[in-house]
Amino acid sequence: MEDIIVCEGLNKYYSGVHALKDLSLKIKKDSVVGLIGDNGAGKSTLIKILSGAHQPDSGHIYFEGNKVKFKSTKEAMNLGIETIYQYSALIPEMSIARNIFIGREQTQYNVGSFGLMKTKTMQDDAMKALTDVELHLRSPDTPVNQLSGGERQGVVIARAMYFKSKVLILDEPTNHLSVKETNKVLKFVEGLKSQGVTSIFITHNLSHVYPIADHLCVMARGEKIADMEKKDTTIDHLTDLLVNG
Amino acid sequence: MSKNFSLRSLLVRPEVATFLMFLAIMIGFYIANERFLDARNIRIVMGITPEYIIVAIGIAILMISGEFDLSVGSVFALVPMTIVQMVHQGIPPWFAIFLGLMIGIIVGFVNGFITLRFGIPSFIATLGMLYIARSLTTVATAGFPPPFPHILPNELFVYQFELFRASLYWALLVAVVLGVMLHRSNVGNWIYATGGDQNAASSMGIKTGNVKMFCFILCGFLAGFAGMIQTFRLEAPLPSQGYLLELESIAAAVIGGVSLFGGIGTVFGAVIGAILIRFLESGIIMARIDAEWFRAGLGSLIIIAVVFNTYISRRATRIGQNKAED
């Protein structure tokens, strides 16, 4: 299988702190990659760089074989790399349909990049996007703050699917979720593989990502300390790496 | 169940609650004095209300985007004062109006620039502007309020028709255009997203700084435009015009269901909020209650509205949490 993302020698400093040290990583197409590490291991720095929110101080990123340099999250999103943050990716007071289309509204009567939203089309498409990830909700007009945590992650994943993301970066998607809600989210992520979406699943909770991951990557102190296929490792070995670095 | 739910979701809309409050106040004062709803009284109240509606809409949209503007009352005086003084200096009326409205836009821009560039609360940035713009207005009067130059086309903005003034139609035009912008356009979606959760909005690629800047400028422009209408109606530019209007327009927006924390509110709510305040004032006078009670009434209304809206939004959130526990 080919690699969809290749990172070579990424370094990032934050006011003198070496947050990411010479990190290289290959991510196979249509796989689920578990990126694990304790707090402060450099996971967030890595995904901020991959999602275009921050720029590396040195090193290269290749996406589908081409060298890329993202100046903004929008640029990464346009190429099909979508990042799902723990909580911040949805606006609680806004409806599901409006949330799905934030920043990418379907419009008519456009003047430049401004126009009137095609409300009906957006509602219908939102429902369809939800059904595609097996999420069955009553109405696209329901405000997101009336959904459970797992359902919210489902909406975010549906949004990424709708916009044909190729890579989905999930930052601690199961944090603060009940066991039942966590299982829901894991099911969403597992379903992505068959639809041709690569996922990078960031967590410090090994037991969440282990069952669904194909590949695992462990980070500590800004460095990659392990990088292997699931079949070449065990949960005990990974736990040992996490705890003892 | 589903029908039940839609009725409930309608009732939890804050602007619907405002509208019910509005009806209650109208009926209450009508019972106190039948002449409250006479054509004559409606003509008087609706003659002055449009100016407040326009300012309230600007404030509401800015608050939905997550910011404040305390300088609207001062801009409300500065813009017409500048227009009048420019006409006295021999500048053609329409050009003077254009330049005057530009001042509203510039003040809005400066408010936005200071707030966003230096990352300080807009409350502080615009509090400073409140004093600066008021001071400039007083300086521009050059010590004595100038006479109103009658070559200004004020009839176009304030002509008294049978029941309503032209200014009401201008206010309605503003409400419709900005209502469509806020509730139907993609820009409106960005405004709600920015005020609802700025981090989430920017992670979805929305340029939240630009969105807020647009709202600041819009608010400054509308405050100036409304102030111009008031001067055109009174045919006298007063340096004290719009005193305490900043708080009253925030009150109108809040009574109309706009959240102090951004992300929630409607243009319709702000319009009803502004009208409600003016009828409250008139109703208290008509009911032969000491006019000083107006502020107490307004104060109570603000508190009731916010308490009610907070209760409603907690209920709505609880629906979600209960579901999560199911």
Task: Locate the chain A residue with the closest alpha carbon to B64.
Answer: A93
Q: Distance between CA atoms of A133 and A159, rounded to whole angstroms?
A: 10
> Confidence band (pLDDT; 50, 70, 90) for B131?
very high
pLDDT digits (tens, 9 = 90+) for A111-151: 988 999 999 999 999 999 998 888 888 889 988 988 888 88
In the predicted model, what is the mean pLDDT of chain B? 91
Note whether residue B246 is domain-resident.
yes
Both tokens of B101, joined, read 């409205």
Query: Angle at CA B58, nearest 5°, toward B55 and B64?
Result: 135
State whether B192 and A150 contact (CB < 8 Å): no
The helix/strand/coil state of A9 is strand
Note whether residue B35 is domain-resident.
no
In eight-state DSSP terms, residue A33 is E
Task: Locate the chain B residue with the closest alpha carbon to A92.
Answer: B196
Residues of B in contact with A93 (CB under 8 A): 192, 196, 263-264
Task: Find tokens 């925030």 and name the residue.
Answer: B250
**pTM: predicted TM-score of the whole model, two decimal places:** 0.87
Higher pLDDT, A36 or A164: A36
Residue A165 has pLDDT above 50, yes or no: yes
What single string gives the DSSP state of each residue in B67-117?
---S-HHHHHHHHHHHHHHHHHTT--HHHHHHHHHHHHHHHHHHHHHHHHH
Question: Which residues, other chains included, contact A73 with Cβ-Cβ below 8 Å and sequence gap of 6+?
Answer: A51, A52, A53, A83, B202, B203, B204, B205
Note whether residue B58 is domain-resident.
yes
Residues of A in contact with B323 (CB under 8 A): 146-148, 151
Residue B4: per-residue pLDDT: 46
Query: Counting Cβ atoms within 10 Å, is residue A165 exposed (0-12), middle (13-18) or buried (19+)?
Result: buried
Residue B3: per-residue pLDDT: 44
Give the β-pairing of A58-63 and A223-229: unpaired
Q: Which range marks the domain in which residue B198 is found?
A: 52-314
Residues of A in contact with B189 (CB under 8 A): 94, 98, 101-102, 105, 117
State whether A103 and B206 contact (CB < 8 Å): yes
Nearest-CA distance B256 → chain A (Å): 17
State whether A92 and B197 contact (CB < 8 Å): yes
Query: Angle at CA B122, nearest 5°, toward A74 and A15?
Result: 55
- Facing B320 at nearest CB: one of A77, A114, A147: A147
Both tokens of B307, joined, read 């308490």
What single string gives the DSSP state of each residue in B39-59?
HHHHHHHHHHHHHHHHHHHHH
Residues of A in contact with B205 (CB under 8 A): 72-74, 77, 103-104
Residue B213 has pLDDT above 50, yes or no: yes
**For chain A, how long is the longest CA-to-CA vector?**
60
Residue B61 has pLDDT above 90, yes or no: yes
Residues of A in contact with B319 (CB under 8 A): 146
* Overall number of domains in chain B: 1
pLDDT digits (tens, 9 = 90+) for A47-106: 889 988 899 999 999 999 899 999 888 889 889 998 887 666 899 889 999 999 998 999
CB B300 within 8 A of CB B233: no
In the predicted model, what is the mean pLDDT of residues B294-311? 86
> Confidence band (pLDDT; 50, 70, 90) for B2?
very low
- Facing B189 at nearest CB: one of A92, A105, A178: A105
Note whether residue B270 is domain-resident.
yes
- H/E stretch holding A140 reads none
The helix/strand/coil state of B256 is coil
DSSP bridge pairs for A201: A34, A170
Residue B14: per-residue pLDDT: 74
Both tokens of B47, joined, read 């003659």
Q: In Å, how far from its chain's centre is CA B191?
A: 16
State whether A94 and B204 contact (CB < 8 Å): no
Q: Classify the C-alpha dihedral B107-B109-B111-B114 as positive or negative.
A: negative
- H/E stretch holding A223 reads strand A223-229
Residue B43 has pLDDT above 60, yes or no: yes
Note whether residue B196 is domain-resident.
yes
What single string gives the DSSP state of each residue in B132-184?
HHHHHHHHHTTTSPPPPPTTS-THHHH-B-SSSBHHHHHHHHHHHHHHHHHHH
Nearest-CA distance B316 → chain A (Å): 6
> Confidence band (pLDDT; 50, 70, 90) for A1?
low
- Facing B320 at nearest CB: one of A74, A119, A148: A148
Percent of chain A with pLDDT over 90: 33
Both tokens of B229, joined, read 């209408």
Residue B325 has pLDDT above 80, yes or no: no
Residue B1: per-residue pLDDT: 37
Residue B326: per-residue pLDDT: 46
Q: Distance between CA atoms of B326 and B324, rounded to whole angstroms?
A: 6
Note whether residue B280 is domain-resident.
yes
Residue B278 has pLDDT above 60, yes or no: yes
Q: Distance between CA atoms of A217 and B77, rounded to whole angstroms?
A: 63
Q: How many A-B residue pairs are in contact by the CB < 8 A criterion?
A: 102
Question: Which residues, other chains included, contact B77 with Cβ-Cβ below 8 Å and sequence gap of 6+?
Answer: B133, B134, B137, B227, B238, B239, B240, B241, B242, B243
In the predicted model, what is the mean pLDDT of residues B145-165? 93
Q: Distance between CA atoms of A120 and A168, rounded to whole angstroms?
A: 27
- Facing B186 at nearest CB: one of A91, A114, A146: A114
> Confidence band (pLDDT; 50, 70, 90) for B13?
confident
ipTM over 0.90: no
Residue B312 has pLDDT above 80, yes or no: no
What single string gives the DSSP state of each residue in A60-124?
EEEETTEEE--SSHHHHHHHTEEEE-SSTTS-TTSBHHHHHTTTS--EEEEETTEEEE-HHHHHH
Residues of A in contact with B199 (CB under 8 A): 85, 88
Among A186-200, B131-145, B157-171, whose mean pLDDT is lowest?
A186-200
- Phi and psi at residue A213, to the nearest 5°: -80, 150
State whether A73 and B197 contact (CB < 8 Å): no
The helix/strand/coil state of B224 is helix
Residues of B in contact with A185 (CB under 8 A): none
DSSP bridge pairs for A223: A220
In the predicted model, what is the mean pLDDT of residues A176-187? 83
pLDDT digits (tens, 9 = 90+) for A211-227: 899 999 999 888 888 88
CB B99 within 8 A of CB B157: no
Fold exhibited by the domain A3-244: Rossmann fold (3.40.50)
